[in-house]
Structure formats: C-alpha cells, structure tokens
Amino acid sequence: MLVLDHFVVAGTSRAIATDWVSNTLGELPKVSGKHEYFGTHNNLWGMGPTCYLETISIDRAATKPEFARWFGLDHFVGAPRLVGWILTTKNIKDTLSQLDPEFGEPVRLQRGKYKWTISVNASGQLPFGGYGPALIEWEGGFHPCLDLPDSKCRLHTLKIRHPQAEKMKSSLGDLINDNRIIFETGVEKISAEIEKDEKLITLQ
C-alpha cells in the first residue's frame, strides 16, 4: 500500500523557500543537503516517525544536468509554494507497472547511507500537470525520519485540488492507503494543514 512519505515546497532559491516555511511554521529546518544528480539542494523538517517536509531549489553552484530536473524545477517561477507529494512503496517497479506512463521511470539515487529509487518523468514534471504524486522506495531500512530531529509539527491533511481529482484518485485506486490525503475537484492547488501547539497552520 502507498502512504505519504514527504511533501515538497519549491522556491527560486533554497533560502527563499526555507525562510517562507520557517516563518510560517515558526521552526527552523533540521537538516540540509544536496542532490548532485539533479543539481538541486534542500532542507528538511522531521514530522514524526514516517513523514517529513522538504524545501528544494536549483543549486546554482552545481553542474546543470543534461536532463530535466525533478519537480519541474527548470520551469519554477514565483513565490515559494507546495509543488509535490511523494508516496512510499515497497516495490516501485511493480507499482509503476500499474500506473500510467506519465508517472515516469524509476531513478536510483544515493546520499551517504540513504539509498532510494524515485519515479521521475523525462519532462521533470509530476503527473497530472505537476499535481500528481511521485513514488519512492527506500533501501536498507534507512530513512531520513529515523535521524531527523523532531520539529514538533505533524501533518494533519494534504489536500490535492485538481479538475481531474476523481481521475487521479481512481488511477491510484486501491494502492493508496492514507487518510491524511484528500482529493478535491477544482482549480489546481496543493495545500497542507500542519498541526503545531494544538493549532493548524496552512502551507500552500
């Protein structure tokens, strides 16, 4: 079954995206890192034992890849916002075989002890025009949440609004099993309600 692994805020720079999340949540990021393969860098907030929040942007100091960067970052403009959500699977190849080809192909990556395979479309865009999920399979029992300091924030709901929300939901069918994920029909937007100090904070 597929459950939410993490969700992603992009910005025109890592600092801009991170400052926006930090100011909204009142929490500084716990870990930073780089993705040499895609020429991007990130910051992370731990949100419990199985979920985390990531800010990401193009790393201007890195070598530009000869292929599209993930999460549509090559075409990202404007203010920082939620751009992606990633579902964890125990067998990414098997799961992708049950989905439309626009979900992409598995790409295997490594950073230190973390090894993972993530689905990436050749265009760099996520399915459903950038509003559908990516898939991820972690290897070796290692996962960022096991090492991330707790931000004391917890994801309450992740709302995916899209004109084809029902098609998106039905395409995932019985594969998805996470009641925090809510599909709504309407103008495209991803938003997250995050619990902190018994209050709900919205990122979108």
Which distant-in-sequence residues (6+ apart) come within 8 Å of 35 by Cβ?
Answer: 41, 42, 59, 109, 111
The gap between the terminal CA atoms of the chain, to the nearest Å, is 26
Q: State how far the Cα of 95 lies from the Cα of 120, in Å rounded to an integer.
A: 14
Which distant-in-sequence residues (6+ apart) come within 8 Å of 92 by Cβ?
Answer: 106, 117, 118, 119, 135, 136, 137
**DSSP codes of every residue in 66-134:** SSPPGGGGGG--SS-EEEEEEEE-S-HHHHHHTS-GGG-EEEEEEETTEEEEEEE-TTSPPHHHHTS-E
Supply the mean pLDDT for the chain: 96
Residue with tokens 């805020």: 9
pLDDT tens-digit series, residues 65-88: 999 999 999 999 999 999 999 999
Q: Check: pTM over 0.85? Answer yes or no.
A: yes
pLDDT tens-digit series, residues 98-107: 999 999 999 9
* Neighbouring-strand partners of residue 106: 119
pLDDT tens-digit series, residues 171-186: 998 899 899 999 999 9
All structural domains of the chain, each given as residue ranges with its CATH number in brackets, are 3-150 (3.10.180.10)
